[in-house]
Amino acid sequence: MARDQAIEPRDVSIGFVWEGLPMYAAREIRALAAFKNVAVTVVGSRPPFSVAEIDQTIPFPIHWYDGDANLPAWADITSRTPDIVFSSGWAFPLCTRLAAEAKQQGRAVVCMADNRRRHTARQFLGAVRFRLGLRRRFDRFFVPGQGGRSLMRYFGVPDSNVREGLYGADPALFNATTAASRRSKTALFVGQMIERKGVDVLLDGFRASGLESQGWRLRCIGDGPLAAQAAATPGCEHLPFCEASEVAGHLASARLFILPSRNDNWGVALHEAALSRCVLAASKTVGATSELMPEDSPLKFSAGCPTAIRDALRHASVLADESTDSLANAAHARAQHFGPGRFAREVAGFVADLTGVRLTARQAPQAGDIHDATANGTGHRDEP
């Protein structure tokens, strides 16, 4: 692979090494273009879909790799190893290879970890392994939200070395304004049509709810082995995987969004729905519920339980218009704390922490822009 062409020296350079680089991450990385004194390089393993839109979205050099054979060194990618490397997790060969090389060269490494605290035997053993060796591979940790911070604390990482805001959808895309109470009686699910996402119990719960006779319908968008079962369920419409802009349109017309996953470390789809002013219903094992839903919400239910889903659907269906809009608007307000802008501010915070360099905006700040006050070491910092 040819090296990047020489560029004008910048104050700081950063690299992202992202396994299965997703579209929402591309939109987050794009937000770093708001800063004028940072050079960004992106390395990704190919996700299971076309990367054309990602290539068009990210305004920085992108280097794609397939599989774990012939893993690159930084010299194969760019003329100089970045000052800070952001690496997704600690188990993917591409990420561990480039993170380890950067560390050996005296560069800082930030681990992007989306796992959350789950109180399992596996995490107990993982904590021992992490404390004994893995923790030394990284200087800081970037997590989605409270669940990730809790896990890092359990793994022995000081709160001062952790920042939240790793994941988030783009409010420029998911920006519906129609009140939820004025939308059709549609409960929407978006995701893989698999058991881990709880699709099987969602279909059972919807059938048991009796909402079809009250004019409600369930719409499921995604691919997977349970797609045929969804299509055969009375009152359920199944659509195949579609682009984010199409998903935004479906969210804009849905009154309720439901995410019944048996396990979801965060759940970006729930954030997309919150930005779209949908009423939210989700299993308690979806990490983003900690940030986007009240702790005592009757629309948070036990994972893997059709009866709990039935009750949540029935509860949502009888809400008064005022309550429907209040719940949707409250979720929308919470959702403002995550997304590309938050991601860029936290990356700037890591840069300040690790290099002392303050990232500055390209132009005078306007409403909704990233600005210098949040781009230095004294800016926004999450509390435990």
Q: What is the CATH number of domain 180-335?
A: 3.40.50.2000
Residue with tokens 């919807």: 206
* Angle CA 170–175–177, to nearest 5: 165
* Angle CA 69–167–152, to nearest 5: 80
The half-sphere exposure of 17 on its side-chain side, counting CA atoms within 13 A, is 30
The structural domains of the chain, with segments of one domain joined by +, span 12-168+338-374, 180-335
**Residue 25's closest CA among 163, 147, 142, 169?**
169
Give the model's pLDDT for residue 375.
40
Distance (Å) of CA 336 to CA 145, 160, 199, 268: 14, 23, 28, 13
Residues 192, 196, 197, 199: is their CA dihedral positive or negative?
positive
Give the model's pLDDT for residue 33.
96
Task: Give the number of other Cβ atoms within 10 Å of residue 215's Cβ.
Answer: 10
Give the model's pLDDT for residue 368.
44
Question: 115 CB contacts (<8 Å, ≥6 apart)?
Answer: 148, 151, 265
Residues 205, 211, 213, 216: is their CA dihedral positive or negative?
negative
Give the model's pLDDT for residue 128.
67
Give the model's pLDDT for residue 115.
79
Give the model's pLDDT for residue 126.
66
Give the model's pLDDT for residue 26.
96
Class of domain 12-168+338-374: alpha beta
Give the model's pLDDT for residue 6.
45
Task: Give the number of other Cβ atoms within 10 Å of residue 1's Cβ.
Answer: 10
SS3 for 132? helix
Whether 12-168+338-374 shares its CATH topology with 180-335 is answered yes
Give the model's pLDDT for residue 251.
98
Give the model's pLDDT for residue 125.
74
Rounded CA Rg of the chain: 21
pLDDT in tens, the chain (384 residues): 444 554 443 589 999 999 999 999 999 999 999 999 999 999 998 887 788 999 999 999 999 998 666 789 999 999 999 999 999 988 788 999 999 999 999 999 999 998 777 767 776 676 667 776 677 889 999 999 999 999 889 888 999 999 999 999 999 999 999 999 999 999 999 999 999 999 999 999 999 999 999 999 999 999 999 999 999 999 999 999 998 999 999 999 999 999 999 999 999 999 999 999 999 999 999 999 999 999 999 999 999 999 999 999 999 999 999 999 999 999 999 999 999 999 999 999 999 999 999 999 987 444 444 443 334 333 332 332
